[in-house]
Chain A
Amino acid sequence: LYVYGSLLAALAAAAVCVPASMQRWPTHLFFAALFVIGQQLRLRVRPSDGMALSVNAIIAAASYPLLGWAAALPALASVVQLRRRVPREARLFNAATAALSAFAGGVVYTVTGGPVGAQITEGPVATALGSLVVAMAAFTATNVAMLAGVMYLDPRSHTPMAQIVRRAVSTATLQQWAFGFVSFMVAQLWLGSVGPIASLLILLPIAIGQVMIARGEAEQRVHEATLLALAQALETKDPYTRGHGERVAAGSRELARDLGWDPAAVQMVGYAGLLHDVGKIAVPTGIIRKRGPLTSPEYESVKLHPLRGVEVVRGIEFLRDALDGIRHHHERYDGSGYPTGLAGDQIPLFARLLAVVDAYDAMTTARTYRRPRSHEEALAELTSGRGSQFDPVQVDAFVALARQGTWPRPQPGRGRRAGAPERPR
């Protein structure tokens, strides 16, 4: 209902624009085409965080000096979606949002005295830029308001309102504004004395920037795979640990997200989980593969593995925050663990979390010396170690997560992606 309501409002705005559009239909048609093309693009600002800019705001910025307030009709064209498969409702809603936001921006731009058409080359540029700033604020505000509305009403989304707003006012918006300025200036050049050729040149650096971002993303994927190779290097010694690192990584991320950690920490605890046992490489193969109980000196050498792991990955600078997790993941909450016997809150947060997930995965998979335990048995075991072996808060959260039936998940995706503000999932 909300979707159709906004659509109706957008159609009304578009209807107001119809006479103006008829008057200068070639320019309007051109912008309609731009909006369609813009929908097919993904303009990125940074590699690897999946943050994509909304191209609509940028195209709208160019439309103000050319179309004035009448940008709503062309913006409706953004309903055409060629490449990605988006549900019809989302498409309609997005187009309505684009049209209403562009309309709001255009009206504000004209009202504040922004120059339109041929006037542009006469007045000072600074005045026009001033109007543009207000117009873009109006665009963003309309956009966020509509998005917040749909998120609020959508029963499937649990995203709290503060987070929606925070996301909308993130760096992506800043960049969106920056690109808005660029496209606005391009429109001015277009109308100016040199003509369109010059304004097309700016596409080259923008495109090259996108190439660089894409390369960064490719390199990031290579790096993730190399980390995986590092975790898997251990498996050449101990086939029983196959996939252990990856499962603990996935589980740790899941639990950390559930506990409300910030995304950077979630990611980092995932890396710590992936590599937590890498130091077992230094434990003699005979001990790792041994059936039956370990002798005391053998156990001593096993107990060295967290420190050895730190030694291996110490050189990887960005993992610095993960090191504590690796070093202390065998500490126990009551202080009887190794290597340093820390207790309670002295144990780094990462390490406490890894301990829980690690224990679960170790119990539910087969080892040389025993058969796997069942999901329920493992959970019971975790609960009984609450406060003695594990952090009670984390155990409770883990068990609750597991009882939801969503645990253990198969391989999770790469984490949720933050979408552009006006594209609800």
Chain B
Amino acid sequence: MSWRRGNDVLWLVSLAAAGLTLWCVTRTALLGLQAVWLDIVFVLIIGLGEVLRVRTPGGASGSAPMSLAAGAGLALLAGSYHGGRPAPPVCEAVTVVAAGMVLGSLVFALGRREALTARMPLRLVSVAVAGEVFHLVAGLGRHGHLFARPDHWWVVATLGAAALIGVLYLVLAALTGGSARASVRTRLLDELDGSALVCAAAVATASVIAIGSWDLGVWSAIIFSIPMLVTTGALRRYAVIRQTQAQTVRALSRAAEVAGYIEVGHSDRVADLSVRIGEVLGLRSRRLNELRSAALMHDIGQLSLREPIPGGATLLATGPQRLDIARRGAQVLERAAVLPAVARIMAEQAVPYCELADDSPVRTEAGVVAVANAYDDLVGAEPSFQRQAQALERLRLGAGSQYDPAVVEALEQVLVHG
């Protein structure tokens, strides 16, 4: 439900991908395969690329840089030569990409894992569209094979088309992915942050594959895919470390729960609510991650209390005591010299809004954690309509003095629109 906007675009793109595939397969069937061995090698490389799916550093799943690079490389070959023979046309390239994706998905299906990913149609559409555009623009008024020799015009055209594939892919990914609460601009910036580098590597590889195929034929694709393989490995490890890091932060918040200082589930609820509010406020994904960590750990300072506060509700603690708890929680991170931004949010979330320094870089985040925490303390684990309304009323009364008015407003939006 909340994913609708992105989902609409995704449906369109998937439909386009299906249409393009159908069209290309039909045309290829009519024309016959021009380069069978080349096709087979590319199907295998793309299939392997699809199997080695990774999360982008931005956190989006289903990225397959090696597949994108090989597919784009084949599409860019269209209209030139590989190893002295004419390269297959764009429709055959798209057919090969689709076949590679089917192969990759089959492997996943056999392993009983989720076979389809939202990014697959994106890859196919970007490759097909850019390939056709490249072919059309380069071949204005010409027929058959466009480039008789590897001149600089060909190199420039290939690079341009490769760049087009990259841009198309990133834009489509931004439109289809991310949270529906975030604006398109935020999603685009997040996508750039998260995948621009990997995408650049993929399209650079694609152009090398295409250009190299002139002399080296099919070996170009095999050998020049190696750097993408290494990059993919690095990305996989990065994703694992990120996940582990998130689990460790979660363990820190569990520590306070296991110790009985806070009610089980409180930290998780505050973190979820904080992130939703942060999305409404237009925070970028990096800041959202910090916000989530700070919200998860906002109560760990209570570990330094001799005995737990009844029910763990920090609203019951006195002002100075709350500040002290928050300060000690932040110190846990500071002593290990880790996550300085998160530590700062944890320290400042206990400061009343009117006393927060205007130039604090985490002003918004601190306000969000404060509001989400207060709301959860007031509503508790089983929210009823009446409790929610009362809690919201109380937060509204405090807006401007205790709480950030913009955040309280965003909380209302989250509660109303889900």
Contacts and interface: CB of A to CB of B under 8 A. Distances in A.
Interface of A: 45-48, 121, 125-126, 129, 175, 178-179, 181-182, 184-185, 188-189, 192-194, 197-199, 201-202, 204-206, 208-209, 211-213, 215-216, 219-220, 222-223, 225-230, 232-234, 236-237, 278-279, 281-282, 284-286, 308, 311-313, 315-318
B197 A189 contact: no
Contact of A278 (B57, B149, B255, B333): B255
B224 A312 contact: no
B338 A212 contact: no
Interface of B: 57, 69, 83, 149-150, 155, 197-198, 200-202, 204-205, 207-208, 211-212, 214-217, 219-220, 223-224, 226-231, 233-235, 237-238, 240-245, 247-252, 254-256, 258-260, 300-301, 303-307, 328, 331-333, 335-339
A213 B247 CA distance: 21
Nearest to A209: B231
Given A208-B197, A212-B197, A182 B224 contact: yes
A100 to B, nearest CB: 27
Secondary structure of the A contact surface, majority rule: helix
Contact of B254 (A121, A222, A315, A317): A315
Contacts of A278: 255
Contacts of B211: 189, 194, 198, 201
Contact of B258 (A184, A201, A236, A308): A308
Which 9 A-B pairs rank lowest in CB-CB distance, beginning with the nearest?
A: A225-B338, A229-B336, A192-B215, A209-B231, A208-B201, A236-B304, A205-B201, A212-B234, A204-B204
B201 A209 contact: yes
Contacts of B338: 222, 225-226, 228-229
B356 to A, nearest CB: 25
Nearest to B149: A193
Nearest to B57: A215
A208 B231 contact: yes
Contacts of A308: 258-259
A213 B230 CA distance: 9
Nearest to A200: B208
Contacts of B301: 236
A125 B215 CA distance: 9
Contacts of B332: 229, 232-233, 236
Nearest to A204: B204
Contacts of B243: 317
**B interface, over-half SS:** helix
Given A194-B214, A198-B208, A209-B230, A46 B237 contact: yes
A359 B300 CA distance: 28
Contact of B241 (A189, A223, A285, A312): A223
A192 B214 contact: yes
A228 B258 contact: no
B234 A236 contact: no
A126 B226 CA distance: 17
A58 B328 CA distance: 52
A230 B248 contact: yes
A47 B333 contact: no
Given A317-B244, A317-B247, A216 B237 contact: yes
Contact of A204 (B201, B223, B229): B201
Given A129-B219, A236-B328, A226 B336 contact: yes
A228 B251 CA distance: 12
A226 B342 CA distance: 12
Given A125-B216, A125-B219, A316-B248, A202 B259 contact: no
Contact of B204 (A126, A184, A201, A279): A201
Nearest to B238: A216
Contacts of A181: 223, 226
Which of A125, A212, A227, A315 gathers most chain B CB within 10 Å?
A212
Nearest to A129: B219
A278 B207 CA distance: 53
